[in-house]
Amino acid sequence: MGNLISRQDPRKVIDNRLEVFGESLQCEEQYYEDGNLLAEKVFNTLKQHSHYFLDSYQFAGSFGKETDVIDPDLDLVVLVNKCRPPLKGVLNEFEKILRANEDYLQICPGSYKKSIRCLKFAFRNGISVDLLPAPNLSYDEKENVLALMRNNDELAHLYNPSFVEDQIAFMEDQDNFTHTLIRLSKFWLKSLNLGQSFSGGSAMMELIAVAAAQELEKDGERSVSRSFIKVLDMVIKLKTLKIAFKLDNDGEWRRVSPADLNCRNKSWLVPTIIGKYKTLKKRNFIVDPANPFQNFLEGKCNGVLKKLKKFAVKTRSVFCQILEGNGQCGSAEFIQELFEPMVENLSNEDAVSLPTSILVSYEVPCTSVYNDVKVWNEEIMKDPKVSRAVELLKKNLHTVVHSTVKGNEDMFCESNEVQNRVSQLLESKLEIPLESTSYVENHDSYSGYDAMVRIPYVIDDEVFAVYVSLKWESSCFLSQLLKFLLLFALWYKLREPHVIYIDSVLVRFGERLKCPEKYYDDGKQMAEKVFETLVQHSTYSLDSFHFGGSFGKKTDVIEPDLDLVVLINNCHPPLNNVLHHFEQILRSNEDPLQIFRGVYKQTDRALQFSFRNGISVDLLPAANIQDDERNAIFQTMVDYDRYSYYYNPSFVENQIAFLKCQDSFTHTLIRLLKFWLGCLHLGEKFRGGSAIMELLAVAAITKERLCEEKSISRAIRRVLDMVRNLDSLKLAFYRVNNDDDEDEKWERVQPKHLNYYYSTILVPTVVGKVDILLRESFIIDPANPLQDFLEGKSESVIETLKEYATTTRSYLDMISSGSEKYSLVNFIYDFFYPMPEDLTEDCSLLLPDDFLLSYKPCSSVYNKLKIWNHNDIMDNKDALRAVKVLKKNLITVVHSIVKENPARISMDHVKVAVEKLIEDNLQVNLCNAPRRYNRNRQNEIEWYDVMVRVPIPYAIDGEESAVCLFLRWD
């Protein structure tokens, strides 16, 4: 046998062994027989006792599609006539019927769990069931339902089980090779610990495997190893992966090419292949061929996708080494290596509670082929950390046992190999020394244990089983509780000085984020000159000018844009002609106004330019609304959404007044939050983000006022919690005093009142129109009730923002709790460190090919961007975006490291912080790249395309200086 293997092509050996292993992952025949028998009994019992008209039942999921892996859940779809979702009444009735017939149906008492469309339970032999009642739809009814789904995302989820026959038909169309690849892919997914549930993961892997198999078949290079690597490659690119299928004229399903999914004319795709244009605009999607409104990547958080990518990269690396002959390619060990459970050491996992003792035993012969968890101590399993530990151990044992046995079947696996692998798993994941794990010949010694996991396996037609009994000492629980209470008391006693210190650092830093006085003075002086010049030369009747944005509201951070709102009499939007007119005037007066030549950009309502000292300006002409015009203009804004956007600058005085009535504590909180937002790279523009942070801060302060003492760190937590729920957040404010009162007072509307039932009270003064109240989330501008700052925000940006808020919240919790893992030294620098650290993975950024980092004397307070633009590189939007992100990150790091404690900062501190940022962002090692980092190469600066200069905000050792970053693209 060994000589035969040595003479074969190693790749063919690997392909053969993978194919055999993939086929062996199918359920045992007994599972199929028992599953069919039990399902039929359940359906007949339901039909006999139900008041609903039950038509038939179908196996869905991997069992129905015959893509099962070892012992899957039994997805049992019961088609109900003359019924529409949600089927809450049907689920309640089904549960009552099953509970009344548990003995006859052999159902485990107390194993029921109900969701919005599913009833979960388990048979006593270990088979788990998902019972899904679904409307029985005719062909015409399906067409009508698909039409309804276009306007209601929830219906796509609720009606999905009704498409079970189409889902099965799609998989029946795939060949045996693809089914084998699907099983391998799903077994790999089972070996991963993603830290949370991954709904639809199995179906997602099925479609990825089909896409991979079809792509390689088209290229004529289809093999199991190449196809599996292709699957891993697709998982690695999951953040930008787009998969959809269409039915060809020959009746076969084929993947829609990525080129077709990105072409301009996409009308042929919607709605038969992809349900909505909204889905096509997403960065990634995997669409169910049976239900074009079902996107399996919808709602998946970036944290899970990142873990999947990390695990896929690791598996791919291992597999490539095996294929190159560096692994155990000729033996079964490569199967074990390839499907090694990927889970961090469980002893370091906060979400699990490890057992205090464990007993491992083996049984032969075993009478059952089903995995099982037996619980003797029901109370202890109510602890979610305990039940999670049991589930993780069961999953890992399942993977290890079956990769050992089924990956080794034709090489005569012995039971002691399984025992060795199990002991290795338990030792590495639980950190239980080998001598404290007991092995017995039979399983009669479980007395006193709380739960037991059983994993059966077959060797030479003989059924064995590994039993792992787990015990949590009750005294241990009491001691843990006592320990927790003591620690809580100690923490409560010590928290105040600890939190007070953190609060003092944050408040002090927030106050230092204000613009330099010179920026205020220069900005006001130059704005006045611009307005005087416009009045002098304009043919329009200009009334006055106001500072809008953060500069006008006094919530500025370091160096904001100058929003200059010019109110015009007898003029209404759109004001394109006014913008063009203003630009001509400014171009004719660039020298006296000190404006950069030729650097103008016109948008729908603003003219953007820069002064030569570095201050950027948004010049916004706006209608000066008179009292007798207000009602008519407001009605126009209600009727036409676009006019709400156009008229918004006209409300500048109200916007300023709302923030002006907030206290200095709120203003400090706002600056901290806007600085935090500035340290994030969201992948695309987030218009109105600054205003969103302002309103979230005010909302947080309304709750903070109820506490005995205000805490800035607690207020930040409140805001971060709101950001984490941004896709369901509803926020609006109302004025609590009369318009005649000199001092305005505003309060947040209670979220429970922000719905249709209160529309007569809220509309139009608080929320502009009823349509807004029907949205899932909104943040209303107090000055303009028709302005919803969340409108039009993409799901990807919201999800990324939620992920960053979770990360920051976790860090703040740890640092506030006094955890020894985190130091208060450089707390501000760590707290506001730019995210993500690595920019090389963002395909929307064209990062430089070379750079020069230097430190120069500088007396200016202005950040500067100088463009030599030898190769017109700044015409490339991706390169310009990269420059802006690097500039923003550089400003964040310099100001956070210096302003936290200016008195103790040296130039070396700044250099270390800046150089770490460059290494993280560009993924370079400055120590190994002297050509890219040389303070003595000042004579070469004109060789670069762009320079970013960030002045260090305080003189260090009596010298004023700046960080200069020169960038070049090949």
DSSP secondary structure, 272-303, as one string: TTSS-HHHHTSS-EEEETTEEEEETTTT--HH
Of 5-14, 85-94, 283-292, 332-341, where does mean pLDDT reach its minimum? 5-14
In the predicted model, what is the mean pLDDT of residues 956-970?
Answer: 86
- Rounded percentage of the chain residues whose pLDDT exceeds 90: 31
- Given a cut of 90, whether residue 716 has pLDDT beyond it is yes
Say what the pLDDT of residue 52 is: 92
More confident residue, 730 or 326: 730
pLDDT classification of 95: cutoffs 50, 70, 90: very high
- Which has the higher per-residue pLDDT, 353 or 618? 618
- CA 571, CA 623: separation in Å to the nearest integer? 6
Question: Which among 377, 353, 369 has a CA at the least distance from the CA of 446?
Answer: 377
Q: What is the pLDDT of residue 4?
A: 40
What is the pLDDT averaged over residues 284-311? 86
Mean pLDDT of 787-812: 90
**pTM, full prediction:** 0.55
Task: Among 43-47, 145-149, 308-312, name the one with the lowest average pLDDT.
Answer: 145-149
Q: Given pLDDT bands bounded at 50, 70 and 90, which one contains residue 818? A: low
Residues 614-635 have a mean pLDDT of 89
Residue 5: pLDDT band by 50, 70, 90 thresholds?
Answer: very low
Q: What is the pLDDT of residue 475?
A: 42
- Separation CA 867–CA 874 (nearest Å): 8
pLDDT exceeding 70 applies to what percent of the chain? Answer: 86
DSSP per-residue codes, 145-206:
HHHHHTT-HHHHHHSGGGGHHHHHHHHHTS-HHHHHHHHHHHHHHHTB--SS--TTHHHHHH
**Rounded distance between C-alpha atoms, residue 333 and residue 413, angstroms:** 11
Per residue in 406-417, pLDDT (tens digit) is 766 554 556 677
Q: From 287, 239, 282, select the one nearest 262 (Cα to Cα).
A: 282
Average pLDDT, the chain: 83
Q: Do the Cβ atoms of 617 and 609 come closer than 8 Å?
A: yes
pLDDT of residue 51: 92
Q: What is the mean pLDDT of residues 344-350?
A: 55
Give per-residue pLDDT as tens, 778-796. Answer: 999 999 999 999 998 888 8
The pLDDT of residue 814 is 81
* DSSP letter, residue 618: E
- In this predicted structure, the answer to whether residue 87 has a pLDDT above a threshold of 60 is yes
Report helix, strand or coil for 421. helix
pLDDT at 607: 94
- Tens digits of residue pLDDT in 204-238: 999 999 999 999 887 777 889 999 999 999 999 99
pLDDT above 60 (res 327): no
Provide mean pLDDT across the span 574-586. Answer: 93
Upstream peptide bond of 574 is cis (omega within 30 degrees of 0): yes
Instruction: Name the band, by pLDDT with cuts 50, 70 and 90, for residue 98.
Output: very high
Residue-level pLDDT at 251? 81
Write down the pLDDT at residue 691: 93
- Range name among 48-62, 659-673, 759-773, 931-945 with the lowest pLDDT average: 931-945
**Residue 932: pLDDT band with limits 50, 70, 90:** very low
pLDDT reading at 934 higher than 50: no
Whether residue 433 has pLDDT greater than 70: no
Angstrom distance (rounded) from CA 392 to CA 384: 12
Enumerate residues 6+ apart whose C-beta is below 8 A from 594.
526, 611, 612, 613
Mean pLDDT of all residues in 623-647: 86
Place of tokens 């394109």: 576
Residue 786 CA to residue 783 CA, distance in Å, equals 9
Mean pLDDT of all residues in 583-594 = 93
Q: Is the pLDDT of residue 737 over 70?
A: no
| 106/103 Cα distance (integer angstroms) | 5
| Local confidence band at 816 (pLDDT 50, 70, 90 cut-offs) | confident
**pLDDT category of residue 147 using cuts at 50, 70 and 90:** confident
C-alpha distances (whole Å) from 185 to each of 21, 230, 551 are: 12, 11, 54
Q: Are 614 and 560 in contact (CB under 8 A)?
A: no
- 852-853-859 Cα angle (round to 5): 125
Residue 680: beta bridge partners?
835
Least confident of 436-445, 644-653, 670-679, 909-918: 436-445
What pLDDT was estimated at residue 801? 94
DSSP H or E run through 780? strand 778-781
869-883 confidence digits (pLDDT tens) = 655 676 788 888 899
Contacts of 825 (CB under 8 A, 6+ apart): none
